[in-house]
Chains A and B, each alone.
Chain A
Amino acid sequence: MAEPMGFFTDTSVCIGCKACETACKAWNQLPAKEGGHPPMSGDSYDNTVRLSGEDWRHVKFIEQFSEDRSAGRWLMMSDVCKHCVNAPCLEVCPTGAIIRTEFDTVVIQTDACNGCRLCITACPFGVIDVNPVSKTAEKCTLCYDRLQVGMQPACAQACPTASIQFGPIAQLKATATARLSQLQAQGEKQASLYGADDKMLGGLNSFYLLLDEPGVYGLPVDPKMPTRNLFWGSVSSVAAAVVLGVVGLFGFRERRAVDESDADA
């Protein structure tokens, strides 16, 4: 297996240019939305709105301004699949279409997917959706095709500010830690790394440097594996089945008792 590869996205230098979105759509030949005329969302500069089968990169815009707009800042973040080490989507996929590659990334094989859409419910980050052309679940592949020939992913190559950095995970983590201390030394006390250690789903191979709480960026605080509910979910079903069986069997006994008392009378 090759070394685990991934993204480190430093949101503090993102300028919201959407070069990553464009490069991704171009390289991966993703279809245009709404016949090329997507409606304006009215939500800041964001008309992509969310990750989907047609958009595997999505730049989020968060406007933090005071009431009179005398103070404020923009937060921007290029969202993408987190290539979780323990990937919920891969865990539940009933066709085996979702695989882990030699680069420790998570890829959906389009020709195996039958579009049941269970992976969409499992991903804690709302990453996956159906691509209307292939009619299968799709998301970022971390440019698996480019990685196989030694190229870097299209978005990382296009990013003009190195907000998106691609490389071996170990190296990216060192870069991220250094950048975090630098920012904190400059007074950015709220800066933090998201998914850089192995506490979150075993680690996110696409992790972030954030300048505010995860919730502000539309990220869950403590994403979990869906199978956390498997044990008690099964227990609740089995217990209900046992209760129903017992009710049924007692029903026979009561019926017999009623019949016998009828016969006596």
Chain B
Amino acid sequence: MKAMPMPDTFFTASPHWGWLIVFYFFIGGIAGAAFFLSALLHLFGRAADRPVVRTGYLVALSGVIVSAILLVVDLSRPLRFWHMLIQSNTGWPMFKAWSPMSVGSWAFALFGVFTALAALGAWAEIRAPASPLRRLANGLPGKAIAVLGGSSGVFVAGYTGVMLSVTNRPLWGDSSVLGGLFLSSAASGAAAVLVLATTWRGRRDATSLEWLQRVDRGALMLKGVLLVAVVVSLGAAAQVLVGIWGVALAAVLIGGVLVPLLMRRGRWSIPERPMMVASALLVLAGGFLLRVVVIFSSESVYVMGAGVHGP
């Protein structure tokens, strides 16, 4: 490492963000994007899309619950999680528009509320069609929830990458494209989850599946482009990717983006459904590995004494 110029980000210290944060980035991203895609289907789709819309809202709710637990447990003082939203000494709201974690905390909290409402509506639509809760799924309240939840969901799926860029850590602070990359990756992951949920239940929602496949293709292409953009934008800091992390990132690009894209082309002799499932699983594995590489490649650089070591 001595020969290359040492990027300033390499002199910083590790925040010890480990597996909990990797899982949050992955699950929270999918939750946000799943709501976003479902909201699009809700607002612009057909009656035949309703089952997938409902699935999406439930996926989002499960993801939000798991994410909230991960985030709170990851704090070194979990019981003080509310300090993110309320100033502990004054009781006034705590908000910093220029700190992605501060804005993200609010977006996450709001997203949680809209997700709960949308999931309640989805439940009422099937189980209690006569109850007034049904209006949370249909009509104007349902539309408003879709718009607000969809916007906050997209925010939740993308701010994590921006938050990493707004640091001084190796790789993270060296690229400002991580937000777009995380968002596109979350969208392809969410489409994959919805495809899996739909095919697994053996439903014949062919028309929704067709749309999901189109969105997934677009999101994957965007992810591929942004992945390359991130690596290019790193400059000298790309040395964190020399070795195992670079190999892993290449695996994300090939196995998690290019191969799933090629599997879509439809000129294979394999039946369509298994192909769809295999491709969705590859997309999800790639999305997870991407978070692993982004977090842990940065962590592999460390300062000892006056010198920088690793990766």
With A111-B88, A251-B214 in contact, do A120 and B77 touch (Cβ < 8 Å)? no
Instruction: Decide if A247 touches B98 in the complex (CB within 8 Å).
Output: no
Nearest opposing residue in chain B for A232, CB measure: B176
B12 at the binding interface (Cβ < 8 Å): yes
Which residues of A from 50 to 92 have beta carbons under 8 Å from B?
50-52, 60-62, 77, 88, 91-92
Q: Please give the distance in Å from A28's CB to the nearest CB on chain B.
A: 19
With A49-B305, A230-B100 in contact, do A237 and B168 touch (Cβ < 8 Å)? no
Instruction: Decide if B218 touches A247 in the complex (CB within 8 Å).
Output: yes
A residues less than 8 Å from B80 (CB atoms): 95, 113-115
Judged by DSSP, the binding face of B is helix
Instruction: Decide if A116 touches B75 in the complex (CB within 8 Å).
Output: yes
Which residues of B from 265 to 311 have beta carbons under 8 Å from A?
303-308
A residues less than 8 Å from B303 (CB atoms): 50, 126, 218
A residues less than 8 Å from B87 (CB atoms): 95-96, 112
Instruction: Decide if A118 touches B15 in the complex (CB within 8 Å).
Output: yes
A136 at the binding interface (Cβ < 8 Å): yes
A residues less than 8 Å from B44 (CB atoms): 248-249, 252
Instruction: Decide if B172 touches A121 in the complex (CB within 8 Å).
Output: yes
Given A226, A232, A236, A244, which contacts B173 in the complex, CB threshold below 8 Å? A226
**A182-201: contact bitstring with B at CB < 8 Å (1 yes, 0 no)?**
00000000000000000000
Q: How far, in whole Å, are A111 and B166 apart by their CA atoms in the complex? A: 25
A residues less than 8 Å from B173 (CB atoms): 121, 226, 229
Q: How far, in whole Å, are A141 and B131 apart by their CA atoms in the complex? A: 59
B193 at the binding interface (Cβ < 8 Å): no
Which interface class (under 10, 10 to 19, 20 to 34, 35 or more) fits B?
35 or more
B residues less than 8 Å from A259 (CB atoms): 207
Instruction: Decide if A94 touches B11 in the complex (CB within 8 Å).
Output: no
Nearest opposing residue in chain A for B92, CB measure: A96
With A114-B75, A237-B162 in contact, do A244 and B13 touch (Cβ < 8 Å)? no
Instruction: Decide if B15 touches A241 in the complex (CB within 8 Å).
Output: no
Instruction: Decide if B184 touches A240 in the complex (CB within 8 Å).
Output: yes
Stretch in contact with the other chain, from B53-61, B132-140, B153-161: B153-161
Given B13, B76, B179, which contacts A233 in the complex, CB threshold below 8 Å? B179
Given A113, A215, A244, which contacts B6 in the complex, CB threshold below 8 Å? A215
Q: How far, in whole Å, are A92 and B100 apart by their CA atoms in the complex? A: 8
Which residues of A from 234 to 265 have beta carbons under 8 Å from B?
234-237, 239-241, 243-245, 247-252, 254-255, 258-259
A residues less than 8 Å from B37 (CB atoms): 248
B residues less than 8 Å from A234 (CB atoms): 162, 179
B residues less than 8 Å from A100 (CB atoms): none
Q: How far, in whole Å, are A94 and B107 apart by their CA atoms in the complex? A: 13
With A240-B222, A244-B218 in contact, do A219 and B11 touch (Cβ < 8 Å)? yes
Instruction: Decide if A135 touches B211 in the complex (CB within 8 Å).
Output: no
Instruction: Decide if A226 touches B179 in the complex (CB within 8 Å).
Output: no
Given A93, A95, A135, A236, which contacts B177 in the complex, CB threshold below 8 Å? A236
A residues less than 8 Å from B45 (CB atoms): 252
B residues less than 8 Å from A226 (CB atoms): 166-168, 173
Instruction: Decide if B15 touches A123 in the complex (CB within 8 Å).
Output: no
Q: How far, in whole Å, are A247 and B83 apart by their CA atoms in the complex? A: 38
Instruction: Decide if B211 touches A252 in the complex (CB within 8 Å).
Output: yes
Nearest opposing residue in chain B for A43, CB measure: B305
Instruction: Decide if B99 touches A121 in the complex (CB within 8 Å).
Output: no
B residues less than 8 Å from A116 (CB atoms): 75, 84, 101
A34 at the binding interface (Cβ < 8 Å): no
Instruction: Decide if A130 touches B99 in the complex (CB within 8 Å).
Output: no
Instruction: Decide if A240 touches B99 in the complex (CB within 8 Å).
Output: no
A223 at the binding interface (Cβ < 8 Å): yes
A residues less than 8 Å from B172 (CB atoms): 121
A97 at the binding interface (Cβ < 8 Å): yes
With A94-B99, A112-B83, A117-B16 in contact, do A220 and B8 touch (Cβ < 8 Å)? yes
Instruction: Decide if A121 touches B222 in the complex (CB within 8 Å).
Output: no
Q: How far, in whole Å, are A226 and B9 apart by their CA atoms in the complex? A: 10
Instruction: Decide if B167 touches A95 in the complex (CB within 8 Å).
Output: no
Instruction: Decide if B8 touches A221 in the complex (CB within 8 Å).
Output: yes
Which residues of A from 138 to 172 have beta carbons under 8 Å from B?
none
- Pull 28 A–B residue pairs with CB atoms less than 8 Å apart, ordered by A: A41-B305, A43-B305, A51-B13, A52-B13, A60-B305, A60-B306, A88-B168, A92-B101, A92-B167, A93-B99, A96-B87, A112-B89, A114-B84, A115-B75, A115-B80, A121-B15, A121-B173, A125-B12, A126-B11, A126-B12, A130-B16, A137-B76, A229-B162, A230-B98, A240-B179, A240-B180, A247-B218, A252-B44
Instruction: Known A-B contacts: A95-B87, A114-B81, A240-B226. Give 6 more (CB < 8 A).
Output: A46-B305, A92-B99, A125-B12, A240-B222, A250-B214, A252-B45
